[in-house]
Amino acid sequence: MINLVAVYGAGWDGRALVNPMSRAEAATRDTYAVVLLDGSRVRLEIRVAWADSYLAAVRYDDRGRQVAQHEFRPSADGGLALWTAATWDGPDDLVGDEYERRAAQRFATYYRSDGRLLIEERPNGEGGGLRTQTGFEAAPRLPRPGPGDWAGLLTLIGAGPAEVVESDTHDLPVVHDSAVPWQPPRSLQPGDVAGLFTEGAVRPVAGGRTTARIEVVAAGDLRLPSGRLVAADPGWLSDDQAPYLVTVAPGSYPVTISRAHLAGDEEHVRIAAARLTVADRPVARWELVLCDGQDPLDLREGYYYGVSVDAGLACFLDAEQREHYAAWFDDDLPDELLEFDQGGFAMLDGGELIAYSSGWGDGAYPTWIGRDQDGEVVCFVTDMRL
């Protein structure tokens, strides 16, 4: 049995407890950290961010190096399911970033909501070499813990059995700082999507290395007889591209193209985004569009589900038309989709399909839903992430 003392704050920065708080105060918060002490040594840090559906437990060795991290997401039964489990092991003379990233052996297990499992082994850390295994395995689960109830969590991650004593007093160094030492992982955020369709706006592109002037042009009306939108590479429609889960009333909807004219070369034009407008109302919030089987809680920091492009083209069409165009495009794309330039677009069959060149070319591009203040769908925007 391990005896640990729990103290609360915003986090542990490796040297001091940041923004200490009482257990009672932590119980009123969505975000806080628990530092577990073995004598004067920090053994574990539990990071809680309920607003982001996240909990993590970080273990430290005698030298204060991170040697394990277990991350959890909510499970269907109201508890928590293990999301990732990672361990580090390296030479005793390495510390800090060199230990955690470059030279330490790293083993990681990733669980997904559909039962998929990925195991990665990096014997040289991020210095090279990767071995993987895949399979299916249900993620370990436990009831959602809270202040004063950490024993089950510690046992699941292999840090127990432990007896935890709560305390509002300790001998740790303390720092008061508005910047907390950790943040929960968040998937890609939408950014200024509306600005992609502001005529004449000048926006940074290419990672901020240059800018571009936005030109907004109409591409025509897209027919959606089923109301189920598909966004895909037209060359890969035979790959059973799934429609988005969010549907709209059957009808025809205008598609608008955002063209970016790069600074210093106005003739160099790239498609910045494509928008299908459902209603002429202001957008109050944006959210990532999902297809069947996609769970946003499976996404790691900065990740997203997107339109996979392998032919430099993307398109909008109705789900009922996918098989028709998949058969048509099976051998080769028609000239209408091959002859426009990098900043071009085309409509087929009077609005059955609208295609456009994809940003810098091949890659994956997120689609966002714009919703009004009542939560109703206003538009879909595929962002080319220039």
pLDDT of res. 94: 83
Q: Model confidence over 246-267: pLDDT tens digits?
A: 999 999 999 999 999 998 887 7
- Side chain identity at 7, as an amino acid letter? V
Per the prediction, the chain carries an average pLDDT of 91
Spatial contact of 69 and 12, defined as CB atoms under 8 Å apart: no
pLDDT score of 309 more than 80: yes
pLDDT of res. 186: 93
Structural tokens at position 238: 């035979």
pLDDT score of 154 more than 90: yes
Cβ within 8 Å of residue 217, ≥6 positions away: 256, 257, 259
pLDDT of res. 52: 93
Q: What's the average model confidence in pLDDT over 285-312? A: 92
pLDDT score of 56 more than 90: yes
pLDDT of res. 317: 96
Torsion of Cα atoms, 279 then 285 then 286 then 287, to 10°: -110
Rounded CA separation 88/41 (Å): 19
pLDDT of res. 195: 93
Q: What's the average model confidence in pLDDT over 73-98? A: 89
pLDDT > 90: percent of the chain: 67
Q: What's the average model confidence in pLDDT over 215-234? A: 95
Looking at 52-161, which runs of residues are DSSP E strands? 54-60, 66-74, 80-89, 105-111, 116-122, 131-136, 141-142
pLDDT of res. 161: 85
pLDDT of res. 40: 85
Least confident of 5-19, 153-167, 225-239, 324-338: 324-338
Q: What's the average model confidence in pLDDT over 272-277? A: 97
pLDDT > 70: percent of the chain: 100
Q: Using 50, 70 and 90 to split pLDDT, how confident is the model at 116?
A: very high
Q: Model confidence over 33-47: pLDDT tens digits?
A: 999 999 889 999 999
Q: Model confidence over 64-85: pLDDT tens digits?
A: 899 999 999 998 888 999 999 9
Note if the bond before 91 is cis, omega within 30 degrees: no
pLDDT score of 91 more than 90: no
Query: Which candidate, 214, 251, 244, 256, places its Cα nearest to that of 347?
Result: 256
pLDDT of res. 45: 97
Q: Model confidence over 322-363: pLDDT tens digits?
A: 999 888 887 778 877 777 777 789 899 999 999 999 888 889
pLDDT of res. 157: 93
Spatial contact of 181 and 18, defined as CB atoms under 8 Å apart: yes
